[in-house]
Amino acid sequence: MNFPKKQIQAHHQIILDSIADGVFTVDMEMSITSFNRAAEEITGFSRNDAVGLPCFDVLRANVCEENCLLRQTIETEQPVINFPVYILRADKKLIPISVTTALLKDAGGRTIGGVETFRDLTAVDKLRKVIRKQHSFEDIVSKNAKMQDLFSILPQVAESNCSVLIEGDSGTGKELVARAIHNNSPVRDGPFVAINCGALPDSLCESELFGYKAGAFTDAKKDKPGRFALAQDGTLFLDEIGDISPAVQSRLLRVLEEKVYEPLGATKACATNARVITATNQNLQKLVSEGKFRDDLYFRIDIVKLSLPPLSKRKEDIPLLLDHFIDQFNHLSGKKIVGISQKAVAALMLHDWPGNVRELENAIEHAFVLCLDGMIRLHHLPARVVPQGGMPLAATGLSLREAEKRTIVRALERNQWKKMVTARELDIDKNTLRRKIKRLGIVAPHS
């Protein structure tokens, strides 16, 4: 039985409207020929308005003009699957979607256009932000067990006025922690003043900290306030405290004990109420035992010690950090990058990150410069992160399965092979962890 053409088209539209994802088709001129109900709801355009228009006038995605996914599929005959982009709705609202494309062929197998399905990722995006918020404190993002322990005590530390020593390798986020303490302290409305002691010679470090009076030395034409004066009613952050000389150590100890200091060339002391937070990437206890750091100063600044693990010990944080940095650089650059490919994430998970979180941030900033569409890919990353021409898995001899196994084994080792604790650190269900351990053939050393 031959059905009338209009009846067939009506049946096709009923089928399209029953699909939860947005669906539209285009002809070889990229004009829309059909548009389902879900596409209307997601884009805000009615079917009557959309049909007949070029698809880029309706979706207005951030890749439409220079990198149209549907045109690529028609020209190369290669489908695109779940590619994330942003589109501009009819009400001018920008929303994230994932796009899948395919060829549209007639009964004879001849290409007559293309079909695109797309899914609104707004809810997924909101959920991701909620999850990230659960694993953050101020601008510090982590679901690592040690970092979560640190998050739990930071409010109490911030509320007190005690001296805090933050230990950690360069790039682990010591200044972020110091700022978080300040922002949650009673002096949050006061200034936060930071100084890198390791970057200054002794004489300059002393004048930077305490300031000087006019005539204190040849070039001192007028008074200059030091960092202690600038941090009055606020917080002074002394980074790389282990690099200061014995003379500066002695003067700093007096300030911490007596709450007074003397600018260079001054005849009377100045009072300070600045809270002091210090940080180091060295082992201060070792420096004390070697006679390179005063023990009385060490005990004075080490009232509360916070230790930050290197990124190599908290690789489970990399996906969270990637989301955080992508949002950050989208805001700064005005771009609308939606995500990062699985191969790129695999490369980042395999890297050792000697520069820690700062190096990861720099890698994503580098990728933002090169990325022109909605997805950061392997070739957008710095060469140091992707060795041997962008083949990180081949270069290290690791498959994705082996990379997953190594991540789980390292987490188990960090937690003395306690599965419940490890599951919490990896943010997965304990039964999921057990299945992965069995599937990957992971055996505890004492088994």
Task: Provide the pLDDT for residue 341.
Answer: 85
pLDDT band at residue 394 under the 50/70/90 scheme: very low
Q: What average pLDDT does this structure show over 18-30?
A: 88
Q: How confident is residue 199, by pLDDT bands cut at 50, 70 and 90?
A: confident
Lowest-pLDDT range of 13-22, 102-111, 266-275: 13-22
Q: 3-class DSSP state for residue 393?
A: helix
Q: How confident is the model at residue 297 (pLDDT cuts 50, 70, 90)?
A: very high
The yes or no reply on domain 145-307 and CATH 3.40.50.300 is: yes
The CA-CA-CA angle for residues 283, 287, 292, to 5°, reads 150
Residue range 322-338: mean pLDDT, rounded: 88
Could you name the CATH architecture of 5-120? Answer: 2-Layer Sandwich (3.30)
**Residue 393: pLDDT above 60?**
no
Mark residue 101 as left, alpha or beta (left: phi above 0; alpha: psi -120 to 50; beta: remaining).
beta
Confidence (pLDDT) at 85:
85
Residue 439 has pLDDT above 90, yes or no: no
| Alpha carbon separation from 316 to 22, 137, 259, 262, 362 (Å, rounded) | 34, 17, 42, 47, 19
Residue 62 makes CB contacts below 8 A (sequence gap 6+) with 85, 86, 87, 335, 336, 373, 374
392 pLDDT band, cuts 50/70/90, is very low
pLDDT tens sequence across 118-160: 988 887 777 677 766 777 888 899 989 899 999 999 999 999 9
Report the candidate in 219, 226, 234, 238 with the shortest Cα–Cα distance to residue 266: 226
Contacts of 383 (CB under 8 A, 6+ apart): none
Residue 353: partners with Cβ closer than 8 Å, 6 or more residues away: 310, 311, 312, 359, 360
pLDDT digits 0-9 by tens, 342-361: 888 888 988 889 999 999 99
Residue 42, pLDDT score: 93
Residue 434 CA to residue 238 CA, distance in Å, equals 45
pLDDT at residue 212, as a whole number: 82
What is the predicted pLDDT for the residue at 306?
A: 96
More confident residue, 275 or 6: 275
Q: Which fold has domain 311-396?
A: Helicase, Ruva Protein; domain 3 (1.10.8)
Percent of the chain at pLDDT above 90?
A: 47
Q: Give the CA distances from residue 193 to residues 212, 271, 359, in Å, rounded to whole numbers and listed in that order.
A: 18, 17, 24
- Cα(159)–Cα(185) distance, rounded to whole angstroms? 5
Tell me the domain boundaries of the chain. Answer: 5-120, 145-307, 311-396, 400-440
CB 113 within 8 A of CB 101: no
Choose which CATH entry (1.10.10, 3.30.200, 2.60.120, 1.10.150) describes domain 400-440.
Answer: 1.10.10
pLDDT band at 178 (very low <50, low <70, confident <90, very high): very high
The pLDDT value recorded for residue 390 is 42
CA neighbor of 276 nearest in space, from 239, 305, 238: 238
Q: What is the mean pLDDT of residues 258-266?
A: 86
Residue 309 has pLDDT above 80, yes or no: yes
Give per-residue pLDDT as tens, 73-91: 999 999 988 888 888 899 9
